[in-house]
């Protein structure tokens, strides 16, 4: 098997796994079902993944990578730190909405601690990225002086909270525009400056 066909086979397995996990859940899905959906033999799937857990962890890692790539691609032409933060939130929340079924399956059946090291690594990288953007905004005078690391934690926790809401309370998902407005404007009325 050449490298290209190996890559294509793995891609077929992943696409089939997403479909099967979404339809039957992690507990209801089997490697046999995934192989059938991918139109491959069970043995072929086992050449790439030793079990369902390994496949699910790979899928989680790939989804995190896909989100990171989507964010960076959407930010690459933006220069202003405020526009970068706004687009960052927009893309991250949209990605969660698009992957709702997988988030629900993974969280309900495997729990939020499944793949915790993958998640921690992702959130650490993203927090560092956001801290850099916020510092750039402070240094350029666009943002007021603040603790950039705490603000980046707040933004990441808003995203985590959104992901949690996708699972437990989807009727009350926050609106992206409202989230951005609260981050940039808060809830306090601005005091009018008198001459």
Name the band, by pLDDT with cuts 50, 70 and 90, for residue 193. Answer: low
Q: Where in the chain is the domain with CATH 1.10.357.10?
A: 59-195
Q: Which residue has the higher pLDDT, 167 or 64?
A: 64
Q: Which CATH class is domain 1-50?
A: mainly alpha
The whole-model pTM stands at 0.82
> In whole angstroms, what is the distance from residue 49 CA to residue 52 CA?
7
* Closest C-alpha among 63, 55, 64 to residue 37: 55
What distances in angstroms separate CA 65 from CA 33, 106, 158, 175, 185, one per listed residue? 25, 17, 19, 24, 31
pLDDT of 192 above 80: no
Q: Where in the chain is the domain with CATH 1.10.10.60?
A: 1-50
Q: What is the DSSP secondary-structure string of 57-79? A: HHHHHHHHHHHHHHHHHHHTT--
For 59-195, CATH number out of 3.40.50.720, 3.40.50.80, 1.10.357.10, 1.10.10.10 equals: 1.10.357.10
pLDDT of 42 above 60: yes
* pLDDT at position 1: 53
Q: Which residue has the higher pLDDT, 191 or 95?
A: 95
């Amino acid at each position: 098997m050449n490298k290209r066909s190996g890559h294509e086979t793995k891609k077929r397995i992943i696409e089939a796994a997403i479909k099967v996990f979404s339809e039957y859940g992690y507990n209801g899905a089997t490697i046999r079902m995934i192989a059938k959906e991918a139109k491959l033999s069970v043995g072929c799937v086992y050449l790439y993944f030793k079990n369902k857990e390994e496949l699910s962890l790979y899928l989680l890692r790939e989804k995190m990578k896909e989100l990171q790539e989507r964010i960076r691609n959407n930010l690459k032409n933006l220069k202003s730190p405020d526009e970068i933060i706004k687009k960052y939130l927009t893309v991250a929340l949209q990605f969660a909405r698009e992957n709702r079924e997988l988030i629900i399956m993974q969280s309900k059946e495997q729990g939020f601690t499944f793949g915790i090291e993958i998640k921690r690594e992702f959130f650490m990288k993203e927090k560092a990225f956001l801290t850099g953007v916020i510092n750039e905004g402070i240094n350029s005078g666009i943002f007021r002086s603040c603790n950039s690391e705490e603000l980046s934690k707040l933004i990441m926790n808003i995203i985590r909270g959104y992901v949690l809401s996708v699972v437990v309370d989807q009727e009350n998902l926050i609106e992206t525009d409202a989230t951005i407005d609260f981050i940039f404007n808060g809830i306090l009325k601005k005091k009018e400056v008198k001459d």
